[in-house]
Amino acid sequence: SHSYVGPDYSVQKNTGKISLEQIDALAVKSFPLCMRQLHKALRDNHHLRHGGRMQYGLFLKGIGLTLEQALEFWKKEFIRGKVDADKFDKGYAYSIRHSYGKEGKRTDYTPYSCMKIIMSNPPSQGDYHGCPFRHSDPELLKQKLQSYKIPPSGITQILELVKGMHYQLACQKYFELTHDVDDIGFSLNHPNQYFTESQRLLSGGRELKKELNNSGNSQQKSNSQESMNSNSTPTSSSTTADAELEGLEAYFTED
């Protein structure tokens, strides 16, 4: 009942259409809160621990970053911190190529769904991955939302959904508040879906909502039960995704 059955976002139809110069702006307007948080942490600290690198790196791959762009993006940021170019090439570049299916078993690893982020590998001290609605202290979440200019009434709505353990619905509310729409017209279950729908909405204007409602009906129906299940704290987790990524995680052991 907790299996993710939506698109896996491994087919990069937009490969190369995202430039590195766009990422900072896209993070503000079209990234879900989990990825916006990871991007800010990377820019601030010039480093992410392995959980963050995996969650954010596969998301960037899914929105269209090529392998060459990914290597440039991570290397530039890491060498601004405590990692020199040689250490990056020896310790980190392989794992990035591996995530793009160019090393090891040549598996084309897919970006994490909301369910995987919520249900597995919770963040610990010094980590920035995970779901902010699931894993953040409510007061810290409130402060973060205030800093992102979310209106007080909207913050109250989000915190009520979080209190009820409806984490994906809280993220949907965040989408509505940051895009100034009353109803997003689809069931949110993947960070890359959030990005895709945000870009579509921002490029297509308000009339898109009707189109989304029509085209999203079948997906919404098929995911409705899944959404209900995954919007509460699960009692068991699917091991399929964990097994799939086991090989990749082995190469992300260095902090």
CA atoms within 13 A on the CB side of 202: 16
Q: So what's the pLDDT on residue 224?
A: 39
Could you tell me if 47 and 74 lie in one domain?
yes
Domain identity same for 154 and 80: no
Q: Is 27 exposed, middle or buried (0-12, 13-18, 19+ CB in 10 A)?
A: middle
Q: Tens of pLDDT along 123-168?
A: 999 999 999 999 999 999 999 999 999 999 999 999 999 999 999 9
Q: Are residues 89 and 165 in the same domain?
A: no
Q: Are residues 75 and 86 in the same domain?
A: yes
Percentage above 90 pLDDT, the chain = 69
- Whether residue 123 is found in the same domain as residue 101: no
The pLDDT of residue 157 = 98
Cα separations in angstroms, 149 against 77, 144, 183: 27, 9, 19
Indicate the residue among 171, 187, 202 that finishes a domain: 202
| 112 vs 219, higher pLDDT | 112
Alpha-carbon distance of 32 to 34, in angstroms, equals 6
Classify residue 222: in a domain, yes or no.
no
3-state secondary structure of 70: helix
Mean pLDDT of 89-94: 94
Q: With respect to residue 158, please indicate whether it lies within any of the assigned structural domains.
A: yes
Q: Would you state the pLDDT for residue 55?
A: 98
Tell me which of 121 and 242 has the higher pLDDT.
Answer: 121
Task: State how many domains the chain has.
Answer: 2
State which of 113, 133, 155 marks the end of a domain: 113
Nearest Cα to Cα of residue 43 among 23, 63, 58, 60: 23
Shared-domain flag, residues 130 and 179: yes
Q: What is the mean pLDDT of residues 171-191?
A: 95
pTM: 0.81
Between 110 and 6, the more confident residue is 110
pLDDT at residue 204, as a whole number: 82
For residues 151 and 145, give the distance between their C-alpha atoms in angstroms, rounded to a whole number.
8
Residue 69 has pLDDT above 90, yes or no: yes
Q: Residue 71: give the domain boundaries.
A: 21-113
Mean pLDDT for the chain?
83
